[in-house]
Amino acid sequence: MSQAPVEWQPLIEAALQARQRAYAPYSRYAVGAALLTADGAIVTGANVENAVYPLGICAERVAVARAVHEGHTRFRALVVATANGGTPCGACRQTLREFAAELPILIVDGQGRVVLETDLTELLPYAFSPTDLPQG
């Protein structure tokens, strides 16, 4: 049984709204993410920076953490909104791979214009996944 097509516009709007809540005083690079769960919920996240740079967290991982906290571990789609259409970092790609091997991803700019339509297998080829770990 296949999933219904993704309706991207509500996800784009949610990602743009999430971007407005980013805490990015150092880079001034606000990022918003909207994750569509398997049951149709939209969970958002925004990047949160820290004066100790490695302690910041990306919008995509905030959205994943919120979704898992709310009981969602299966995802259908992701929209990432940045000023210039930047793609998720490697850590975010690997985190997303934990939950969805072929996740459709839409990258939009600050006005909601589509910059890239892709999926996680394209962004993270040959990913390490739970299936690579010993079972049992």
The residues that are catalytic are: 60
Q: Quickly count: other Cβ atoms within 10 Å of residue 135's Cβ.
A: 5
CA distance 125 to 45: 25
The values of phi and psi at residue 19, to 5°, are: -60, -30
CA dihedral sign of residues 117, 26, 62, 110? negative
Cβ-proximal residues to 121 (8 Å cutoff; 6+ apart), any chain? 101, 102, 127
Closest Cα to residue 33, out of 62, 73, 65? 62
Residue 23 carries which DSSP code?
B
